[in-house]
Amino acid sequence: MTIPDLAIIGAGPAGSTLAALLAQKGFKVLVFDDEKRPELLVGESLVPATVPVMRRLGIEDRVASYSQHKPGVSFIHRHGTRIDFNFGPIAKCLPTYAYNIPRPQFDNTLRERAEELGVRFVTQRAAVEKGEGEREIQLTAETLEKTGLTEHPKLLIDATGRTRLFARTLGIGGKTGERSDVAYFAHFEDFAHDFPPAGQVVISILDHGWSWRIPLPGRLSVGIVVHKDAAKGWGNTPEERLDYALSHEPLLKEHAKNARRVTPVMTYTNYQLVSDRGHGPGWAACGDSFGFVDPMLSPGLFMALESARLFEEHVFSKGPKVMGRPEEMAAGFAAAEAELHDWHASWRELIRHFYDGGIFSLYETGTKFSEKFKGWPGIGFMESHMTKHIASMASGAFTRRKYSRGLVKFMRQYMMHDCRPPEDYAVLPAKA
């Protein structure tokens, strides 16, 4: 077997996207794929910032053919407040739409595109161990033998997702998020979803936790997210706990009364984690292997694709000749990791505004202010300006922009009047 420039362990979105981007630049890439994927995966709703990467890979038409067009997101609160966002305000920065995707098909599309570009996949679970000499981590001799490699690849990329294979092997820790939530989700037919326009995702802030409803072709993905201690009182199995939420939560039970579940119920835990270190001599971690974020606002799959893009930009942009320049590669990985840390911090900050109720309080303030001073010069501008920046942050366009982040903080500190306090709108973390 021809010795590859690098080997990627994991064929999910991060691994396959990175492989495809590097193959376009002439790199010889080998990907280990153990082909062990659950029937359902979190990450079925994309943000507009994923579309440019799909276009670079030439797969947007394929994805559109089996996905649901996504125009925006609606937030519905247990107190009755409703906020509707669409992606129109980002027209100058990104496409004004995204997709709700059947994840297995989407993941397969990324792999197929990588194969078309010359990436070699092997159906094998790769085993690694602490390295020797200039390599901090390496493939085991048994893995090399099974793969038919006579030499070790120059670089290993961990794209094993939340398994974090390299970090666990090397004992690298990580910083976890602020919440201790668990999600239960499944696909349903005949689940009422009367929220136009077609494809609109709905996030509901419930009496306990929150829920998502993601329209997919022919079905609806429904998930509930609740503190792990509260979930214990809802039944003994994931099925019982999801059924309890759908039959007891006021914002869900009328919509779910005729619903028929057509998939198993999946469980998703450990919501936020960022590794203390994401690269070292001879290796780097891409996508969820480096860090993953809370699924509210759907940034997860974007971060997988963005990780791959940042690696391509900072490390591999000069082509295969960089493989002989370890110091240059290390500097590139450090630059990519710094950007990833900023992305994670920015998403956490934005998501916190939704969890702690601040966005709803701002919306209530803005609505009452517009009604009170209707017709005054500048009122329309202020309202559209704020909406534009929040929608653009949630789309991936302005998420890291200092002005946008500062605007939300400023408005929260100085402009919230005559409204429920944020704690009244907060996603409740306490036990049921």
Considering just the CA atoms, what is the radius of gyration of the chain in Å?
Answer: 22
Helix (H, G, I), strand (E, B) or coil at 121: strand
Pairing label, strands 219-227, 174-176: unpaired
Instruction: Tell me the per-residue pLDDT of 197-217, one tens digit each, with 9 for 90 and over.
Output: 999 999 999 998 999 999 999
Q: What residue type is 30 in one-letter code?
A: L
pLDDT at residue 177, as a whole number: 86
In this structure, the number of other CB atoms found within 10 A of the CB of residue 208 comes to: 22
User: How many CB atoms are closer than 10 A to CB 379?
Assistant: 16
> DSSP per residue over 169-215, as a string?
HHT--EEE-S--EEEEEEEEES-----SSTT-EEEEE-SSSEEEEEE
**Backbone torsions φ then ψ of 301, nearest 5 degrees:** -70, -35
Burial code (b: 16+ CB inside 10 Å, e: under 16) for 296-332 equals bbbbbbbbbbbbbbbbbebbbeeeeebbeeeeebbeb
pTM for the predicted model, two decimal places: 0.95
For the chain, the straight-line distance linking the first and the last C-alpha, in angstroms and rounded, comes to 58
- Top pLDDT among 401 and 179 is at 401
DSSP 414: H
User: What is the mean predicted confidence (pLDDT) over 395-402?
Assistant: 96
Across the range 152-177, mean pLDDT stands at 96
Cβ count near 134 (within 10 Å): 9
pLDDT of residue 349: 97
Q: Are 207 and 250 a contacting pair, CB within 8 Å? A: yes
pLDDT band of 432, cuts 50, 70, 90 = very low
Q: For residue 240, with 0-12 CB atoms within 10 Å meaning exposed, 13-18 middle and 19 or more buried, which class applies? A: middle
What mean pLDDT is predicted for residues 305-333?
A: 97
In this structure, are strands 201-205 and 72-77 parallel, antiparallel, or unpaired?
parallel
Query: Would you tell me how many other CB atoms lie within 10 Å of the CB of residue 294?
Result: 20
Map out the domains of the chain with their CATH numbers: 6-67+102-174+272-349 (3.50.50.60), 181-269 (3.30.9.100), 357-425 (no CATH)
pLDDT at res. 111: 97
73 and 83 Cβ atoms separated by less than 8 Å: no
Is residue 431 scored above 60 in pLDDT? no
Check pLDDT > 70 for residue 1. no
Task: Judge whether 311 and 336 are in contact, CB under 8 Å.
Answer: yes
pLDDT in the model for residue 85:
92
Report pLDDT for 168.
97
For 59-95, write each residue's pLDDT tens digit.
999 999 999 999 999 999 999 999 999 999 999 999 9
Q: How far is CA 54 from CA 20, 167, 344, in A?
A: 11, 29, 22
DSSP state of 45: B
Question: Does the structure show a pLDDT above 60 at 238?
Answer: yes
What phi and psi values does residue 58 have, to the nearest 5 degrees? 75, 35
